[in-house]
Amino acid sequence: MVVGSGPAGGTAARYAARRGLRVLLLDKRKEIGVPVQCGEYVAANEEVRTIFPTLTDLEDLMEAPYRVRQIDTPVIRIWTPRGRHYDIPFRGFTVARDRMDQGIARQAVDEGADLMTETAVTRVRGKEVVTNHGTFEGKVVIGADGPRSTTARSVGLQWPVSAPAMSATAHGTFGDETDMFFGNLAPGGYAWIIPKGDCANVGLGTWQHFRGNLRSLYDRFVRERKFEAGKATGGYVPVMGPVDRTVKGNVLLVGDAAGHVMATNGGGINVSMICGRIAGDVSADHVLSGTPLVEYERRWRAAVGGPLAEGVRIKALADRFFGNDRLLEAAMLLLGRRRMGRAIRCQRIFLGPRAKAL
């Protein structure tokens, strides 16, 4: 049983079904992927291999995102509070996120999974999953239902530390750089412009302790850049990495529900799909041969845990400067382009013995 048909849940269902399991994939939305609540940015396989070098078979895993690829973005342009910018070579591309999610769900169905939409889960208790369309049973329940996961709450697993974000599509002429803007225009977070050809995904996210009005920050960002943006959608994004525990009883957490997001850049699609595949495979190993479900925890941490933990350390250090644009400007000047590139990839920014936080 998989709760939530985003990239993580759809991928988990796909790989569990491929192994011959009977899989029920549930999603509360009428149309999968709608509304879009995402920057719609995917790291290219070449970058993913650099960040997570033990991964294999990325072409099979990432087939659906590549099928709806819109434009390639070879550079992430990082802007300081005073308007200085650093161009970081980073290979990625943009997608139509709704079509991507629908494509992954379709792959799961093609592998044999059953899909139910407009099905909201209200509680998980043991093998029972209670929904607005009745109660279903599953030997394994995979919670892929976002950072405010009903699955996690039902079984007493913690939610990831998350922060609000808002985005919309803006029409116009854009280049191929992905822009990230730091400073008090987005306290503790950043604003972004992610190009998609004749339009762009424009958005803004803040740190969880921000107590102001996110809508006013977003509207000002859009207004100052004279964007013709459509209706914005908002949600929560994990900002401090994975939760301490992603397995309890017969329940696994994956994707945003587990905090599978790179803390330094907010990227979650690639990591969620990597961990979704692991969740599907471990579920199959458990049902078919009795492999303990805690093996999921070991496998995903071995695959992606190191860089995700380093991203959290970098984010915690950066948070010391985010409240003051002058200090943030100086810190970014000190880091320079090379170290910012390492930070974006969740790699240690100071080599040698690990530096203590200031």
CA gap 220, 214 in Å, rounded: 10
**Does 327 reside within a domain?**
no
Give the mean model confidence (pLDDT) for residues 259-270: 93
* 320 within domain boundaries: no
* CA distance readout (Å), 303 to 7, 184, 281, 328: 17, 35, 14, 32
> Which parts of the chain are beta strand (E)?
2-3, 24-26, 41-43, 69-79, 85-95, 114-116, 121-125, 128-131, 134-137, 141-143, 162-171, 177-181, 190-195, 199-205, 228-229, 233-238, 247-248, 251-253
Whole-Å CA distances, 156 to 2, 122, 208, 243: 18, 14, 22, 12
Across residues 238-252, what is the average pLDDT? 96
CATH code of the domain in which 308 resides: 3.50.50.60
Chain segment 175-229, per-residue pLDDT in tens: 999 999 999 889 888 999 999 998 999 999 987 667 778 999 999 999 999 998 8
Q: Is 126 part of a structural domain of the chain?
A: yes
**Domain assignment of residue 353, yes or no:** no
Number of domains in the chain: 1
| 334 occurs within a structural domain | no
Residue 324 domain flag: no
- 299 is a domain residue: yes
Does the residue 339 lie in any domain? no
Domain limits for position 154: 2-314
pLDDT tens, position by position, 316-348: 988 888 878 999 999 999 999 999 999 999 999
Q: What are phi and psi of 351, to 5 degrees?
A: -80, 170
